[in-house]
Chains A and B, each alone.
Chain A
């Protein structure tokens, strides 16, 4: 009896500890994000208050109004930045995915000379930090005249994302048994049809996750973008955040408001693709 009770008590204690642990972890992860959202809705005085005001007294849309307002009232060209970010991120993601699919498939399915070396080389390009690249890239881009263009940014992001998409997609194609494509070929498909009708849909979940990753990397990238973009022609949203700093002041509220606008598309995308991820993970066509 007593051992039974101590056992139950211990179980309960464990569960509570588990809960507290999770709560702390989640808080650490979420509070900065929530703080940004919160700050974007409250007056500057409250943001700057010391000690911090945890429970807001007043929430309003002033920062958003100002941001979208004219130049005089602290407005920034949000829509232009948003468009730049979208064009650059979406295009570079699509290209990185296509290249990644080609490369990943080749790595997973074919044997060729220098495969291992090529693979390691590809990964090694990712070992160089982006900041270290920014100056050489700046000089290079300036020479060939693609500074401050969508094209230049897309090029940089594709180069940045391709090693990763190749690596990730290679892993997913490896999990798709070879026999699936072979069965499709025997069923009358060409190599090409076998890929698009069988292997691609089966690896879809993995490709989607590579896509999210590539998109988010481009969408949030700051170090390179801050060097390679100069004006509203190509500035992306992360760089746009800097518009809220002036020589002597920092407009925290405005920055937070723009940050919230940045987070929303990323959230929506992740949410949309996530359904795909779960639906796609139904392997089981082969015994295993």
Chain B
């Protein structure tokens, strides 16, 4: 078991810098998810931890050892690749036992470890097949099995579920979470899927263009996003973002609609801001949650509805912009119908229009 620390870690490809001085402390047994859009440097960061990529600057520590110059085999970690990277010429049994064989463990020990892992992942009936004879989901489980047989200090996952269909992905997500509870090992998990990040992580690291935007628990990053980027990246549907200006102690949208300043924000008169509200906090009167302390009411015309069963997603128009809202206990809504919506200001956000930084204090 081990902690992982990144100290000002930098990665450059020639003159191109793709990871900018990242700092990250991962506790022993913690499940940390790196999430961010494609090309933001998640895989590169993970591969530097693994030792598959040279570290251009800074330090990576596993446990209390600086591992910058250690080859992967001396870092005692396991990795699951996006394409699984199973050894095609070996049976499932040999794939699982490979690392122990390299470590020159006794055959009986290898057999026991392989059988255990196969049991956990229900791979026992497949042990004598070759990877080519397995389905995508089965290969994925073999890849996980190969990682768990060695009881590594740290598990690294690079988008392990992105090749599976939606249903299998949900299923494997649960499996991975169970596995973590059982093994209690440190996990660094890369994905670009924010749902995966929210459901799996103890802490989420949101990356963008080689920088870390925010680190926090799933609820923290959901409820208190540091930047507009995090606010729109985390949560589905994405947070509604409306340009506004502070005037007369209120937030004034471009069409003149004004709200009270959401509590907990510090703004200056005349400041250009962005008003952020999730669909969950914009609901038509009579179809909303019990009112909270700070509520604003606004009339909007509904253009489109997406019934989801227990709730309906409403696409409405406000200040010349599309806004997504939710309707609980839904009733049919005609296109063009004008409804009065309640906005729960306690859960709304203000960001600086220029920097995108949260104005929360």
Contacts and interface: CB of A to CB of B under 8 A. Distances in A.
Interface of A: 177, 179-180, 182-190, 193, 197-198, 201-202, 204, 280, 282-288
B58 interface: no
Contacts, number: 91
Interface of B: 50-52, 71-73, 77-79, 81, 83-89, 98-99, 102-103, 130-133, 136, 139, 146, 150, 163
Nearest to A190: B73
Contacts of A285: 84-89, 131-132
Contacts of B86: 183, 285-286
Contacts of A188: 73, 99, 102-103
A134 B110 CA distance: 58
Contacts of A197: 102
Nearest to A285: B88
Contacts of B130: 282, 284
Contacts of B81: 179, 182-183, 286
Contacts of B72: 182, 185-186
B97 to A, nearest CB: 10
B148 to A, nearest CB: 12
A180 B130 CA distance: 15
A136 B299 CA distance: 93
- Nearest first, the 4 closest Cβ-Cβ pairs linking A and B are A284-B132, A285-B88, A179-B85, A187-B99
Contacts of A186: 50-52, 72-73, 77-79
16 contacts: A179-B83, A179-B85, A180-B87, A182-B52, A184-B87, A184-B98, A185-B52, A186-B52, A188-B73, A189-B73, A190-B71, A285-B87, A285-B88, A285-B89, A285-B132, A286-B88
A193 B87 CA distance: 14
B98 to A, nearest CB: 5
A177 B131 CA distance: 14
A288 B83 contact: yes
B132 to A, nearest CB: 3
Contacts of A187: 73, 78, 98-99, 102, 146, 150
B84 A287 contact: yes
A280 B88 CA distance: 9
A202 B88 contact: yes
Contacts of A198: 87, 89
A284 B102 contact: no
Contact of B88 (A185, A193, A283): A283
A193 to B, nearest CB: 7
Given A186-B79, A188-B103, A202-B89, A286 B73 contact: no
A96 B74 CA distance: 35
Nearest to A176: B88
Given A186-B72, A187-B146, A193 B102 contact: yes
Given A287-B84, A287-B139, A185 B99 contact: no
Contact of B87 (A190, A202, A204): A202
A184 B202 CA distance: 29
Nearest to A286: B83
Given A182-B72, A186-B72, A282 B102 contact: no
A177 B83 contact: yes
B42 to A, nearest CB: 16
A276 to B, nearest CB: 12
B37 to A, nearest CB: 22
B153 to A, nearest CB: 12
A150 to B, nearest CB: 36
Contacts of B150: 187
B87 A287 contact: no
A283 B71 contact: no
Nearest to B98: A187
B73 A183 contact: no
Contacts of A193: 102
A283 B134 CA distance: 12
Given A186-B78, A286-B81, 11 more contacts: A183-B146, A184-B87, A186-B72, A187-B146, A190-B73, A193-B102, A201-B89, A202-B89, A204-B89, A283-B88, A287-B136
From A177, A186, A187, name the one whose CB has the most chain B CB atoms within 10 angstroms.
A186
Contacts of A204: 89
From A183, A197, A287, name the one whose CB has the most chain B CB atoms within 10 angstroms.
A183
B81 to A, nearest CB: 5
B132 A282 contact: yes
Given A185-B71, A189-B73, A282 B88 contact: yes
Nearest to B102: A188
A125 to B, nearest CB: 31
From B89, B132, B133, name the one whose CB has the most chain A CB atoms within 10 angstroms.
B89
B231 to A, nearest CB: 34
B212 to A, nearest CB: 25
Contacts of B89: 198, 201-202, 204, 280, 282, 285
Nearest to B52: A182
B278 to A, nearest CB: 35
Given A185-B72, A188-B103, A287 B132 contact: no
A197 B51 CA distance: 20
Contact of B85 (A182, A190, A280, A283): A182
B131 A284 contact: yes
Contacts of B131: 284-285
Contacts of A202: 87-89
Nearest to B47: A182
Contacts of B87: 180, 183-184, 198, 202, 285
Nearest to B149: A187
A187 B77 CA distance: 8
A284 B52 CA distance: 23
Nearest to A280: B89
A202 B85 CA distance: 12
Nearest to B79: A186
Contacts of A183: 79, 81, 85-87, 146
